[in-house]
Every structure is written in C-alpha cells, then in structure tokens.
Structure 1
Amino acid sequence: MLNMNKELARLEKEGTPIKVAIVGAGKMGKGLVNQMSRIRGMLPALVINRNAEKAINALLSAGIKKDDMVISNSLKKINFALEKGKYVISEDIDIAAKANEIQVVVDATGVPKVGAKLSMDAIHNGKHIVMLNVEADSVVGPILHRYAKEAGVIYTGTAGDEPGAVMELYDFAVGLGFEVLAIGKGKNNPINLEANPITVYDEALKKKLKPNMLAAFIDGTNTMIEMTCMANATGFVPDIRGGHGIVSNIDDLTSFMRLKEKGGVLNKYEVVDYVRGIAPGVFLIFTTNLEEVHSQLEYLKMGSGPNYVLYRPYHLTSLETPNTIFEACINRRATIAPTEGVIADTVTVAKKNLKAGEKLDGIGGYTVYGSIEEYKVAKNQNLVPIGLIDEDTKVLRDIKKGEFITYDMVELDCNSLIYKLRKLQEDNM
C-alpha cells in the first residue's frame, strides 16, 4: 500500500475513480461512507440499505448534497445515474452486483445469509467482494474464496477488523523469516455468556450500536468468529475450545503465551487466542533459532527472548477498509482470505434451557452464543456453526443451557443458500 496515495491521485486526475457499492449503512457502513468521501480516486458510489433513509443520512453526514443523490431500485436508472457521476441509494441488495459502474462490493451487513448471497452475486458478476461480514466468512468463506479465485475476482476480509490487522503482523513476521508461535486479539471486557439485547440495551444506546451487535461482543461470539477467520487464513488453531482468554498486558504476554512446561498456558504453538487487557490491539508471538537475531532483538528492546511480541495497538474497523478496496481492485490482492481452508469453526452453544418446538434467533440474540473449536473436532462431533442458526431454526428436542448444539438437535433451513454452500464446502474441502 506504499503507493496507494499516488495511484489514487492518478485515478482522480484521470477521472476514473474506483466506484464502490456499500451494502449496509449501520455503524460500519456509515463510517466507511464518511471516510471514503475524503479519499481521492475512490467513491462510495452506491449505498444500499433496507431503509433508504439510513443510506441517505450516511451520505449527508459525509457532506454530500442531496442534489447529488439519486434514489432508485431500477437497475436502468441506477446505471444511468452512476454514469453521470451521481451518488446512488437503493433498498435492493441485488443491485450491488449488477450495477455496471461498480467495481467493488463491500458487505457491511453482518448477517450471515445476506453475506453468502451478496458474495455469490458479486462473484458471478465479476465484482471484487470485501467482507466486513466476518459472520458469513467464518461459515462459508473458504468456498466463497475458491469460487472467487475461479472467477478471477478477489474475495477478501477487511483491513481494520482484528483478523485483517492480525494478518498484517503475520505477513510481516513470516515474510521476514521469523517463526510465528501464536496470534490473537485483545478483548475489552469479560465475557458474559448470558448477555442479550435486553441486558445490553442501555449500553448499546450510549454507544449507538444495535443491541444484538453489542450482545455478540459481550457474550464472546464476535471474538470467537474473528479468531475463526484468523485460523482459516493462517492454519493456526485454538489451543483449547473457546480459547484461554488470559488477562495480561503487553509486557507480560510472552510469559503467558508460551508452553506449559516453560511456565505458560499453552499446550502447543501455532495457536490463535484472545487476551483481556490489550484491547483494542492485536498481537503476534514469534521467535527465531538464530543467536545473532536474538542478540539484535534484545538490543532493540524487544525483550530478553526467546519469544517476542509484535503488537498493533489499534484497529480502525471500516475506516481502514479503503486500503482493502484499493488492494483488491488495483493490486488484485486480498488483505485476509481463508486460504488454508476450513481450520476452525465457531460452534453453537445454548444460552439458556431450550424446549423442543422453540425457535432460535442467532448471533447476539437470546438463545445461543458461539465458541471456537478446531474444525476436525467440530465435524467429528456434528456441531453446528452458529452462522447457520437464524430465526427459522427449530429446536427438535430439549437442550440444556451450556450444551453444544449438534445437527440432530435442530431443524435448519436446508433450502437457504448459506446452508447449501456450507454443505458443498464440507463435501469438497
């Protein structure tokens, strides 16, 4: 990305900016629209939301005049407006992949089944797809990545989210020849497995978040999903189901994140985990077998070894997504993608006692939460990934609070695209 500024300036000068469709005008989508409005050579040309008013507000908050906007669900009108340089707003998600001028589609919905459809539509229509939707990526990312590669487009997670931020550290360390031992993210609060939209409502209101989004942070599901994406991109696995989740600062991190026989908590290396006390940052633990390199690292105040930590103290979520858009469109590179296949899963756990015949909800709801597990273990135990659970999922037998949910315990929507993609992924990868 060293030449990003110059290349975007060139595109701006030539009148050929990267035109982007952003689907979802919530906190992440709105932030992206605003940030992109200040970038030369890149436009939030098409903003799609179920409620057009939210998309309009996103553009208005970025200083874009209403006279420069066109609101339509007609593909013909939208194509004409985009050609004329207008900002377009639509409530039709299918438009994102079909609009002629659009080069990159950004999924900022956070809804697994929406992400699956949006990705497939983008791939089939020759558009690059940028996923802020880790919820979908953790379930069907590997097969979507394969389809994108076959179609000659880029499927990528985003810079600024923790998985993308970790991948920057990972690429840096591996590229320099270091041995990477562990990767992970910070968490800014203790996990409360009983968190739901009601218990977090007041806090969500203060933070201007949807209650179910905040509930997914607090019950740990979001953290588990992000670690799953890290695992599928690097081949690293959770050391234990759900992760250790130690409490540590950066200075003490290498003391904890080492093997048990060395006084740490780990059973093995090449693992992914989370740590309370270093949020909002991400980390990587590395070592080397070269004495001269150890000597230089100590001289450079990286610690006394043998393990060292790389730490990125921030992640700017969708404000960094333009970096990924540029890399995908201009350099045809992914920021992070599930290139290692299906390494881990975020499996489903009952948040409360569930009765036969009851309907579930999904991520950030009242009925279930997620926990990371190695994929081979999850598959052997027939565990359901939480991204397949939604409001149409029916409980087939009584399930106790804290019980891991298997496929035979629930009735899923087998006709949904995300279910079909998951089945294809399990059968072919």
Structure 2
Amino acid sequence: MDGDVLKMPARQIARLAETLATRQTAEPLRVGIVQDIEMREAMSALPRFPGLSFATLVLETDGAFADFDISARSGHLAGEMETCIRDFVENGNFDLIVEATSRSLTGAMACHAALDCGHSVVSLNPRTDLALGRYLRHQAVSRGLRYVFWPSETVQTALELRQGLESAGLRIASLGAAVPASGEGDEDLSLSDASSVMIDMACLANATGISFERPGMNGMRCSLDELAQHYRPMHAGGILAVDSCIDYMVLNEGAPGVYAVVEEPAAAEGGGATFRTIYNPVSHFEHGWLASLAEVLAGDRDQQIYRPVADVCAIAIRDVKPGERLPGNSSKDYRHVAMRIDEVRWRESIPIGLLEGAMAKQIIEADEPIVLENCVIDHTSRLYALRGVQEELRVAS
C-alpha cells in the first residue's frame, strides 16, 4: 500500500525518530492535518511512522470557492468553513496541527484556529506564510507555542547551499532556482511554473533577508556555464544593480535545481575577483515535510530565521471588466510577480493572498498590475483582519 511507503531523506528519518524518542510519554504524537481537495490530491498517502498518529480534515473548497465573491453568501460560506476547522482543532485532542491547504484564506483560518486553541502549527502552504508570516510567528511566541513554515524542496536546497557557501567564506552575488524551460511560443515558462518560481523565490527571500534586484527578477534563459557572466554586479561586468540578490534562471536543458553565483577573492594582489556558478539538483521527497514535526518538538531551538522582505502580487493576463471576480488561485486571470515589500506598498499592489474574492472596479487591461486603484478586496474576511493586526505589528516594530 502507498501509505506504507516512507519517502524522505534518511537523515530526516533519523532526526524525527530521535526527537519522538525524547518525548516523556508512550502515547503517539497526535497530528491533526487540515487539507483542502487540491492538496489532498497533490499529497501522497500518509505513511505509517512509529510514534505518530494522524487525523485529517478535508475542506470541500471546490464548490465553495467556485462562486466566492464579496457578498453576504460568501461570507456565510467562509464562516461555516472556519467553524468546521475550529471544531476539528478543538475536539481532536491533538498535540499539533498541520495546515496543508492551497489558499491563503483557508490557511489563515487553520493557523489562527490552531494557535488560538493552544496548538503549535506547521504550515506547508507558502501562500499562508507570505500573507501572514509575521503575525503567525508573533502569535506563536507570545503564547509559548511554535509556528514552523516548511517550504518547498527548492527553497530548502537553496538555504542549505547558501549556508554551506557562506560557511566557506564565499560571497554570494545571486542565489535562486534553476528551472527547465516549459513554456510555449515566446514564454520561457508555463504560467503554472512561473507562478511556482515567483512564490518559491519570495519565500527564499524572506528566509534569508536577501531581496530582489527588480520586480519579477531577471529570469534569464541560458546555460549554467553562462550564468556567472551575467548574474554578477554591474561593476564586475554583469547585469545586477545590487551586490547580492535572489533571482532565478531558465535552463536550456537539464534537471531542476538551485544555483549560486559566488565571488572568489583575487588569487594574487592586483588581480580581479572571479565569479563562478555552483549548482545543486533538487530531490523531491513526498514525505519530507514530516521532518517539520521534529522542528516543532525541538522547543529549545530558536524560531526559524524570517526577515520579511518580499511578497507576490499580480499582473492581469487578459482584459478584466468592472464587476468581474479574480479568484485567489487563478492562473487564467493573472500572472504572479515577486516584489520587494517596499515596492508593494508604494505601488499599492495587492498581494495574491488578498485576491480571494476580489473584484475589479474598473477595466484592468492585459499586462496591467492589479492594485488598489482598480480592484476592491474583501474587507470582511479573516485573512484581511489578521493582515491588519500584522501591519500594526510591523509599525510597532
């Protein structure tokens, strides 16, 4: 059976087993998982692991969000969904909650309910972390709980590469994803792959404090051998206006991975610095997220590094008429663009997390940014309320 097959790195299996063994009880760790239909289909069957017990709530979001808009009816649907989540969290006798949904709105509901009910929480949803990362970390610390965001394998591999290179004393000029070409016509990437890389690179920026050179990054299509010629600072003959940034490249050929362009000091006095590319392939482990449970249990560890410098906003890919809705997960209406948070604010761009239920209030032409001037967002949702608290935390800090 698929549920019997464990697919995660051996080092993570060992750490999880060791961490579970330190618990002062013979009872299994009771894990409540909040999923929606999209994530249930994307995630493989849960494996059996000594010391773990799972229970899952699957949210029937397809029908609910198909007609979701800014209305009393949709507000009622959202309220019913949040009540369902809270009942599951409160009555399941869980030790911790895993939020594994695909939307910012459901992620906000699940994480808020977990922390409010006194449970540590793991989020597997990058949209949740981008939308509410600062708030959720603050709430967890203030309540003596843990909030852990478990990013994609791409982000984790990039973080490991950065740590190794900086430990070796190498300065990183550019760090990011190496993505095989998947688009059609003039497009290097499909809309789905482009959205994924924008979200991943925004999460990587927030995990390192290194931001982007410009909105959407460069995304140059080239070979790995050519990359270091371009992704270096302008003063060294490259295209980057900053000394260090998060970016991505599109591979002409090869497997997906992560890269770093590093600067090596001059070998002799008077010689110029040299730049070279280091590349690591990305391995996919379907159950790798189980290692996040060990992160939660290791309560004496510091919270994950988090420096919110980036978010993901939207640009229309078709003409949108006044009164039309823009679903929060839509790839038919807009494309994603990763931006620095300061740019999001002064452009008044709308982060993708807040587009759930949004509605155009004037014509939005193709290739036009979706901003507060041309779109109205749902001010009644749980997500919007928590974003307001998060903004108060930002101002206070």
Cα distance in 1, alignment partners of residues 332 and 23 from structure 2: 48
Residues 123 and 148, structure 1, Cα contact 8 Å, conserved in 2: yes
The match for 1:388 is: 354
Q: 1:47 aligns with which of 33, 51, 56?
A: 56
1:340 and 2:316 equivalent?
Answer: no
1:112 and 2:104 equivalent?
Answer: yes
Query: Bigger shift: 186-195 or 365-374?
Result: 186-195
The structural deviation recorded for 1:311 is 3.4
Q: TM-score, normalised by structure 1?
A: 0.72
Q: How does 1:24-423 map to 2 (within 5 A)?
A: 24=35, 29=40, 34=45, 36-37=47-48, 39-43=49-53, 45-50=54-59, 92-99=84-91, 101-158=93-150, 160-190=152-182, 217-218=192-193, 220-277=194-251, 279-287=255-263, 289=265, 306-316=274-284, 318-331=286-299, 333=301, 339-341=306-308, 343-390=309-356, 392-423=357-388
Cα distance in 2, alignment partners of residues 364 and 115 from structure 1: 17
- Specify the SS of the correspondent of 1:397: coil
The structural deviation recorded for 1:216 is 5.5
Query: Bigger shift: 405-414 or 97-106?
Result: 97-106
- Specify the SS of the correspondent of 2:197: helix
The structural deviation recorded for 1:178 is 3.8
Q: How does 1:4-15 map to 2 (within 5 A)?
A: 4=15, 6-7=17-18, 10=21, 15=26
Cα distance in 1, alignment partners of residues 182 and 42 from structure 2: 27
Query: Cα gap change, 1:317/1:230 in structure 2, threshold over 3 Å: closer, same or farther?
Result: farther
- Specify the SS of the correspondent of 2:45: helix
Unaligned runs of 5+ in 1: 53-90, 196-213, 293-303
- Specify the SS of the correspondent of 1:93: helix
The structural deviation recorded for 1:5 is 5.4
The structural deviation recorded for 1:362 is 2.5
- Cα deviation per residue 1:398-418 (whole Å; 9 max; x = unaligned)? 111110111121121101111
The match for 2:65 is: none
Unaligned runs of 5+ in 2: 1-10, 62-82
The structural deviation recorded for 1:179 is 2.8
Residues 19 and 297, structure 2, Cα contact 8 Å, conserved in 1: no
Alignment RMSD, CA only?
3.4
Q: TM-score, normalised by structure 2?
A: 0.78
The structural deviation recorded for 1:316 is 2.0
Cα distance in 2, alignment partners of residues 222 and 414 from structure 1: 27
- Specify the SS of the correspondent of 1:307: strand
Residues 158 and 336, structure 1, Cα contact 8 Å, conserved in 2: no
Cα distance in 2, alignment partners of residues 291 and 102 from structure 1: 58
The structural deviation recorded for 1:242 is 0.7
Calculate percent identity across the aligned residue pairs: 22
The structural deviation recorded for 1:31 is 6.9
Cα distance in 1, alignment partners of residues 300 and 174 from structure 2: 28
Letter in 2 for 1:340: R
Residues 164 and 335, structure 1, Cα contact 8 Å, conserved in 2: no
The structural deviation recorded for 1:312 is 3.1
Residues 194 and 351, structure 1, Cα contact 8 Å, conserved in 2: no
Letter in 1 for 2:338: I
Query: Cα gap change, 1:239/1:178 in structure 2, threshold over 3 Å: closer, same or farther?
Result: same
The structural deviation recorded for 1:396 is 0.8
Cα distance in 1, alignment partners of residues 36 and 380 from structure 2: 28
Query: Cα gap change, 1:336/1:249 in structure 2, threshold over 3 Å: closer, same or farther?
Result: farther
Residues 328 and 334, structure 1, Cα contact 8 Å, conserved in 2: no
- Specify the SS of the correspondent of 1:49: strand
The structural deviation recorded for 1:330 is 3.0
The structural deviation recorded for 1:310 is 4.3
- Specify the SS of the correspondent of 1:269: coil
The structural deviation recorded for 1:226 is 1.6
- Specify the SS of the correspondent of 1:316: coil
- Cα deviation per residue 1:25-46 (whole Å; 9 max; x = unaligned)? 6575567663542x33333x11
Query: Bigger shift: 146-155 or 19-28?
Result: 19-28
Letter in 2 for 1:23: V
- Specify the SS of the correspondent of 1:238: coil
Cα distance in 1, alignment partners of residues 375 and 99 from structure 2: 28
The match for 2:69 is: none
- Cα deviation per residue 1:265-289 (whole Å; 9 max; x = unaligned)? 3221321111112653223333455
The structural deviation recorded for 1:252 is 3.7
Length, aligned pairs only: 356
Query: Cα gap change, 1:12/1:33 in structure 2, threshold over 3 Å: closer, same or farther?
Result: farther
Cα distance in 1, alignment partners of residues 179 and 241 from structure 2: 22
Cα distance in 2, alignment partners of residues 140 and 276 from structure 1: 30
